[in-house]
Amino acid sequence: ATPTALMVGVGRGAQLGILIKGPEALETSRGIDTVVLDKTGTVTTGRMTVTEIIPVAGFDSGQLLRFAAAVESASEHPIAAAVVARADAEFTTLPEVEHFTALPGLGARGEVDGREVVVGRATLLSDNGIMIDTTTSERIVEAQHTGATVVVVAVGNAVAGLLVITDVIKSGAREAVDQLHRIGLRTMLLSGDNEVTANAVAARIGITEVSAGVLPAEKAAAIAELQAAGRRVAMVGDGVNDAPALATADLGLAMARGTDIALRSADIILVRDDLRVVPDAVLLAHQTLRTIH
Ligand code: ADP
Ligand code: MG
């Protein structure tokens, strides 16, 4: 084996905006047959906006938004940023939050104006014994079918309403998936988001295999499960919660705009925020290895 050939691959990659960490990074990428893509921030831009505010009995949209934004102002999640941005556009001040707790992969909670406020995915509320009625459940699923993420807001242990959060699929995502399929690779969408939303996004970009509702700590296990089934896996991600999965994958690819820990855990960094280089990166790894063995 010639380290020189590997170095040539590294150099070619750099020209394409594919930064290979070092020659060893490619060594484990032999025989990749599956590319797993994280949804939020990888397939989508991750720049979310609140597109609908749906209050439920006893609340108006302003109150709903204020309670939710007060809690989210202490959270670092991209959903939280969307909620706070919307509130900032409508109010000059927000109430303080006390006893804030982030619930990774689920949502957040805290006390606002002396009332317990929970924001997050529907299962977080049901797990806390907060009932979601049938009409509200139907509205949630309806919005999820469009690919939106629905945040449920509870105030004082009762549902106060829904916030519909919309993210945009990156241009080129569909093309990237088509190309991956054309070169004989299988694809899978991996997301912490619920199944309906994840399936809707997957359908739009031509992915049929979906693993949804995956908690941050479970993402690496999802990759290991594929490997245990004999698959050789490349994982593309951007977030803190993707880092262990990127490290577990046979080839980890991080979007350059991702978080530091994702960049550190990956073998390859994609300089441009464009998924169309993913097939190039996998092919480059294949070709470089073929040259030297
Ligand atoms: P992803 O893998 O899509 O980036 P996460 O694992 O971070 O998602 O979160 C999974 C789900 O948990 C989100 O889709 C959302 O429904 C909910 N969630 C997590 N954090 C928050 C938050 N701060 N506010 C509202 N909902 C949240
Ligand atoms: Mg992400």
- Kindly indicate the confidence band of residue 22, based on its pLDDT and cuts at 50, 70 and 90: confident
How do residues 69-85 score in pLDDT, each as one tens digit?
999 999 988 999 999 99
Ligand 1, pocket-test mutation among 40, 166, 194, 219, most atoms within 8 A of CB: 40
Asked if residue 26 lies in contact with residue 12, where contact means CB atoms within 8 angstroms, the answer is no
Ligand 1 binding pocket (C-beta < 6 A) is 39-40, 72, 75, 77, 79-80, 105-108, 119-121, 149, 151, 191-193, 216, 239, 241
Take atom 7 of ligand 1 and give the residue whose Cα is closest. 105
Q: What token pair was written down for 203?
A: 């359908």
pLDDT at 194: 94
How do residues 258-292 score in pLDDT, each as one tens digit?
889 999 999 999 999 999 999 999 998 877 766 65
- Relative to the alpha carbon of 217, which ligand is closest? 1
Q: What token pair was written down for 110?
A: 């805290």
For ligand 2, the distance from its centroid to the CA atom of residue 17, given in whole angstroms, is: 20
For ligand 2, the distance from its centroid to the CA atom of residue 255, given in whole angstroms, is: 10
- Kindly indicate the confidence band of residue 196, based on its pLDDT and cuts at 50, 70 and 90: very high
pLDDT at 155: 97
Residue with tokens 């698959």: 231
How do residues 150-182 score in pLDDT, each as one tens digit?
999 999 999 999 999 999 999 999 999 999 999
To the nearest whole number, what is the mean pLDDT of the chain? 93
Nearest-atom number in ligand 1 for the CA of 38 is 2
How do residues 207-242 score in pLDDT, each as one tens digit?
999 999 999 889 999 999 999 999 999 999 998 889
Cα torsion angle, 182, 185, 191, 193, sign: positive
How do residues 89-147 score in pLDDT, each as one tens digit?
999 999 999 999 999 989 999 999 999 999 999 999 999 999 999 999 999 999 999 99
Residue with tokens 């929970």: 118
- Relative to the alpha carbon of 262, which ligand is closest? 2
pLDDT at 290: 67
First to last CA, the chain: 6
Ordered structural domains, the chain, with CATH = 3-45+169-292 (3.40.50.1000), 49-166 (3.40.1110.10)
Nearest-atom number in ligand 1 for the CA of 193 is 14
- Kindly indicate the confidence band of residue 293, based on its pLDDT and cuts at 50, 70 and 90: low
Q: Catalytic amino acids?
A: 38
153 SS3 class: strand
Q: What is the pTM of this model?
A: 0.89
DSSP 170: P
Ligand 1, pocket-test mutation among 42, 79, 141, 149, most atoms within 8 A of CB: 79
**CA dist 64 → 69, 95, 100 (Å):** 9, 12, 18
90: number of Cβ within 10 Å: 12
pLDDT at 39 over 70: yes
Asked if residue 166 lies in contact with residue 148, where contact means CB atoms within 8 angstroms, the answer is yes
pLDDT at 87: 98
SS (H, E, C) 222-263: HHHHHHHCCCCEEEEECCHHHHHHHHHCCEEEEECCCCHHHH
